[in-house]
Structure 1
Amino acid sequence: MGAVMPQATPTGSARIGLLQVCAAGVLWGTGGVVVTLLHERDGLSAMTVSAWRMLLGAAALVAFAVAARRLRAVGETMRAHPVLAVLVGCGTAVYQGLYFVSVLLVGVSVATVVSLGLAPILAAVWEHLTARTRPSLREVVVLAAALCGLVLISATASEGSSAPGDDPTLGLVLAVAAGATYAATTVLGHTLAQRVDTVALTTCATAAGAVVLAPFLGVAVATGGPVLTGSGSSLALLIYLGVATMGLSYALLYAGLRTTSGSAATVATLVEPLSAALVAALVLGERLAWPALVGGALILAAVVGLHRREERPAPA
């Protein structure tokens, strides 16, 4: 029998969980730059790239499950929780689609603030309603700081961007729907992460999301748009997008959700726009203005203030 590893303390488990969720947000933040590069170099649409992202992420996760001998756990997860696993995957795919379309209609700043800002509010309201509790002063301050930081970063990122599309009202509605979908998916993911293996959950959910987005590749073919690139560097970016910003990042998210509540996770993932701003400054040469720096500091301060409210250790 192997040595028994000591169980992490509740505080240590919560801190590790938040770090895992933050790491997922950092990876997601690099995705926007990759999508921009693929669009500029190869003309790939956002939905085409999203479909490849989910498909490649699912393929990488299945390969890992086979290599790690976790394929049986994947099958057990689908048999035990088929509805929840599919809902989490479909929610992930739908959120991406709603967000990308809202960006085209209402602009990056509004879409980001509404969708990412609404998610932690809805998640927190749901958790307090189901538990019949009231938010503490710490929770209110943490959420307010995170949302202020999000607004500052998003407003800075929108400077110099193109004007919104012809139907900003529809774009706003889609952004609200994206935020609600993101919050619901995170809460469902938190519920399922307590019951099943992390790799199995990530594999099942990503595969379900890939099925939802795969038809967009057919749409690209039917409309004569580019579906794939022959450039080696662009293929490498696509693989990175699928493996790192889909497979690995969602594995980190679901692992973190084992010890982190859904509402706290939606706040912690607000490091995504901060990560995106930093990567854009380094890779695309975009200027990082002082409001973005202040916003980043507020988001980081909010994340630091989260771990004290997380209540339970990782399940044995």
Structure 2
Amino acid sequence: MSNVTASSSSVRTSPLRSGFWLVVLGAALWGVDPLFRIILLKSLTSSQIVLLEHVVLFLAAAPVLWRNRADLKGIRMRHAAALLVVSWGGSAVATILFTKALATGDLNAVLLLQKLQPIFAIGLAAILLKERLPKNFGVLIAVALAGTYLLTFGWTVPFGHVNNFISIGSVMALGAAALWGGSTVMGRYLLGSMKYETVTSLRFILALPLLFVVTAMEGAPWQLGGGWGETTAVAVNLLLQALLPGLLSMLLYYKGLNTTKASFATLAELSFPMTGIIINWIVYQQLVTLPQLAGFALIWTALFFISNQQSRETAKL
């Protein structure tokens, strides 16, 4: 009997642990985005890039959604509301708020407030999903956030005066963090009633109408007349951006989220800033500093213990 129990426990634990690390990998791929976006920004605005990216993603996601169309029969009003939070809130509005915050507020204060996303996600997961945090989870949250702080700011204080910290930009940064945290929680909720491929497809497809409106309201001219070579470069980079940090990352993310608590997943997303540091080091020859190395160590330590905690907690059920 004991052998059977041990075997059953290991079978249940393995996909849970792998699910957590799929979220880590999916979020890490978001850090590749700047490699393609820098080239695209020479010809297009941010909203135009996001719109075209979602057009490519629509073409890839529509056949998947059609194959899984049976999932749509069970959608209720609460599911529709969750989908709007994930697609409009997480994909469109949060990005717009964060971009405007960077333009109108103190850069360091905005970046610091954006790091509060896990707090929003954990709070919403406790309220909406009734997730209970394991023992010592608060310590791991503090360790992970401290590591993220060191990655971003090093040993320095991120703002010089309280007036820089309290501004309209700070409010928008908090709004973006809340929407991204809510998107994680709502994505986990949706995975209880539909496949992760369906959630991924709907995230991209439902965001498209809003992005058309935002781009039209912006009124910026489309500048793609730089010759065949430039048009080809834009098209290739757009395709790679849509498929790598776009489609592939979200498929991995939602597949992992399927067996991962939202409160755990939001900390797994901290792999994103680590990828950005690695990209800057490899591609742009920016040296990794001692504080950043300390931040790496703290985040990976927190991720390791969080992964083990979720596996042990679920194995007890």
* Interval of TM-score (by shorter of Structure 1 and Structure 2): 0.7 to 0.9
Partner in structure 2 of residue 103 of structure 1: 102
Gaps of 5+ in 1: 1-5, 160-165
Query: Is 1:59 aligned to 2:59, yes or no?
Result: yes
Partner in structure 1 of residue 69 of structure 2: 72
Query: Is 1:178 aligned to 2:176, yes or no?
Result: yes
Structure 2 CA distance for partners of 1:215 and 1:142, relative to 1, 3 Å: same
Matches of 2:10 and 2:239, distance apart in 1: 34
TM-score scaled to structure 1, two decimals? 0.81
Matches of 1:138 and 1:233, distance apart in 2: 49
Partner in structure 1 of residue 4 of structure 2: none
- Identity of matched residues, %: 22
Alpha-carbon offset, residue 76 of structure 1:
3.8
Say whether the 8 Å CA contact 1:103–1:111 is kept in structure 2.
Answer: yes
Alpha-carbon offset, residue 288 of structure 1:
2.1
Alpha-carbon offset, residue 73 of structure 1:
3.9
Query: Is 1:148 aligned to 2:146, yes or no?
Result: yes
Partner in structure 2 of residue 33 of structure 1: 35
Instruction: Look up the SS of the partner of 2:136 in the other structure.
Output: helix
Matches of 2:70 and 2:127, distance apart in 1: 33
1:104-119 superposed matches below 5 A: 104-106=103-105, 108-115=107-114, 117-119=115-117
Structure 2 CA distance for partners of 1:134 and 1:63, relative to 1, 3 Å: closer
CA displacement, residues 96-139 of structure 1 (integer Å, 9 cap, x when unaligned): 22122222223554333312x21211222233446778744521
Partner in structure 1 of residue 161 of structure 2: none
Partner in structure 2 of residue 235 of structure 1: 235
Query: Is 1:224 aligned to 2:226, yes or no?
Result: no
Equivalent of 1:196, from 194, 218, 228?
194
CA displacement, residues 233-264 of structure 1 (integer Å, 9 cap, x when unaligned): 23211111112212221122211111111111
TM-score scaled to structure 2, two decimals? 0.81
Q: Which moved more, 1:93-102 or 1:47-56?
A: 47-56
Matches of 1:255 and 1:234, distance apart in 2: 30
Partner in structure 2 of residue 245 of structure 1: 245
RMSD: 3.0
Matches of 2:301 and 2:284, distance apart in 1: 27
- Given residue 265 of structure 1, which amino acid in structure 2 is its aligned partner? A
Q: Which moved more, 1:277-286 or 1:198-207?
A: 277-286
Say whether the 8 Å CA contact 2:16–2:259 is kept in structure 1.
Answer: yes
Query: Is 1:289 aligned to 2:286, yes or no?
Result: no
1:149-164 superposed matches below 5 A: 149-155=147-153
Say whether the 8 Å CA contact 2:134–2:309 is kept in structure 1.
Answer: no
Say whether the 8 Å CA contact 1:21–1:269 is kept in structure 2.
Answer: yes
Instruction: Look up the SS of the partner of 2:116 in the other structure.
Output: helix
Matches of 1:7 and 1:198, distance apart in 2: 24
Q: Which moved more, 1:228-237 or 1:197-206?
A: 228-237
Alpha-carbon offset, residue 227 of structure 1:
6.9
Instruction: Look up the SS of the partner of 1:305 in the other structure.
Output: helix
Matches of 1:52 and 1:178, distance apart in 2: 22
Say whether the 8 Å CA contact 1:74–1:204 is kept in structure 2.
Answer: no
Matches of 1:64 and 1:279, distance apart in 2: 31
Task: Count matched residues.
Answer: 294
Structure 2 CA distance for partners of 1:105 and 1:36, relative to 1, 3 Å: farther
Structure 2 CA distance for partners of 1:79 and 1:246, relative to 1, 3 Å: farther
Matches of 1:250 and 1:25, distance apart in 2: 8
CA displacement, residues 187-243 of structure 1 (integer Å, 9 cap, x when unaligned): 1110111221111111112111122222233245x3335479743223211111112
Matches of 1:259 and 1:58, distance apart in 2: 26
Gaps of 5+ in 2: 1-7, 158-163
